[in-house]
Structure 1
Amino acid sequence: MKLDDDIHNYYEHLVLERIELLELDNFKASDYIADLCCLALNQLPPRYIRFDVDMSFYLPQSEREQMENKVINAVSKAMSYLDDPESVDS
């Protein structure tokens, strides 16, 4: 059995959106970005969907804001770890 190719974790989209907003891809190596994505996503709960448009229409604004705040915190913590692993608490 194979899962549908359209099924993905919505947080992936939000993490990439945050990375683009911070313009990290303009001054960080692709390995850094890949590690950053993994570290950030591992801090977030999975939210699997088939179509992004479903989240746009059916997700309440308050929940969207909570998700975005979780992503901001997860990306920030992942960046802190990558930039100085000794400064991050376990």
Structure 2
Amino acid sequence: MKLDDDIHNYYEHLVLEKLITLELGKTKSDDYLADLSCLVLNQLPPRYIRHEVDMAFYLPGSERQQMEMNVIQAIRSAVDYLDAHPKKAM
């Protein structure tokens, strides 16, 4: 078994999905988005799964909704932080 292929954090999927929906890639650099993703994921508890279908089948709608709200709040917080602390050019 290869862990990097078989197991992943479900929040990674939710964060990516929300970043695409928000279209941040149109106004932010890849570097910014990578930093943003790390900051967001570090605010969220890990939720490891093997298959996306497992979460779709076993996750109650109310828990999925709470997870999505947690992602939105974490994105807001991370964007505020990054915008207040821009990287300096090297």
Fold equivalence (TM over 0.5): yes
Over the matched positions of the two proteins, sequence identity in percent amounts to 68
Letter of the aligned partner of 1:58 in structure 2?
Y
- What is the number of residues matched between the two proteins? 85
Distance (Å, rounded) in 1 between the aligned partners of 2:60 and 2:3: 27
C-alpha deviations, 1:36-75, integer Å up to 9, x for none?
Answer: 0000000000000000111011100000001000000001
Runs of 4+ off more than 3 Å: none
Distance (Å, rounded) in 2 between the aligned partners of 1:4 and 1:29: 26
As a proportion of its length, which structure holds more helix? Answer: 2
What TM-score, normalized by structure 2, do the two folds share? Answer: 0.89
Distance (Å, rounded) in 2 between the aligned partners of 1:84 and 1:53: 38
* CA RMSD between the two structures: 1.3
Gaps of 5+ in 1: 86-90
Gaps of 5+ in 2: 86-90
SS of the residue 2:70 aligns to: helix
1:56 matched to which residue of 2? 56
SS of the residue 1:70 aligns to: helix
1:33 matched to which residue of 2? 33
Distance (Å, rounded) in 1 between the aligned partners of 2:79 and 2:55: 27
